[in-house]
Amino acid sequence: MEFIIKGLYKKYDKKEVLKGIDFTFEEGKIYALLGRNGAGKTTLFNCINEDIDVDEGSFYFKDKELLPLKSEDVGYVLSTPEVPEFLTANEFMKFFLEVNEDKIEDLRSIDEYFEMVNIAKEDRNKLLKDFSHGMKNKMQMLVNIIARPKLLLLDEPLTSLDVVVAEEMKELLRKIKKDRVIILSTHLLDLALDLCDEIVLLHKGILEKIVKEDLEKDDFKDKIIEALRDE
């Protein structure tokens, strides 16, 4: 399976942010979408997720045939977690599972799902408003794991997490990458190198694949940093 972007353009007023993106992502891989703050990473995600209108462009999945992207194909984990803070973790999970029961493969108990992301038993009846940023992020990740979208967009999901939670999240992503496309936006080169199978640079409105082996060369990181400076 492949996720394909064709001819994507987006501008705000007179500022062109995305300038004719053509790119193909392959299933079973975690892609780092690397770029400076303001380069258009979130704009790209919002276009894919239909949160904003594109000026031009199309999105497809290709397996045996080419099919247009549907909203249910996409999971989106925001950098600032959005969860219903008036519910407890248990109430939220119960509601999510009941609403999506007919769509979920291999339905499990709520406690089994909590154990997948290390939500402690004593926290499961707390209101989500009392969860830390990292725990809210885990809840966002959990519902996307359960829903199993073909495409998972992660907008700077690890940047503000403590070391333990960040490592837990990275291990979880490695476990779930099979049979889906995962794109993780970041401005941190070290995170991209540590976690991701492929690195894609968003620079001056287009996407460029970076060969990871080239990053071992003495001057290659310097070239990427210099390119990002020239945004």
Average pLDDT over every residue of 210-227:
67
Q: Is 30 exposed, middle or buried (0-12, 13-18, 19+ CB in 10 A)?
A: buried
Yes or no: say if 77 and 141 are a contact pair by the CB < 8 Å rule.
Answer: yes
Residue with the bigger pLDDT between 56 and 172: it is 56
CA distances to 10, 17, 21, 92, 229 from 14, rounded to whole Å, are 10, 9, 18, 42, 22
**pTM assigned to the model:** 0.88
Q: Which helix (H) or strand (E) holds 22?
A: strand 15-26
The shares of helix, strand and coil residues in the chain, as percent rounded to the nearest 5, are 40, 30, 30
| Residue 162 or 179, more confident | 179
pLDDT at 171 over 60: yes
**What value, to the nearest 5°, has the Cα angle with vertex 96 and ends 93 and 102?**
130
pLDDT band at 121 (very low <50, low <70, confident <90, very high): very high
Which CATH class, in words, describes the domain spanning 28-50+70-229? Answer: alpha beta
Tell me the average pLDDT across 19-48: 92
Higher-pLDDT residue of 39, 51: 51
Name which residue leads in pLDDT, 75 or 165: 75
Q: Output the average pLDDT for the chain.
A: 88
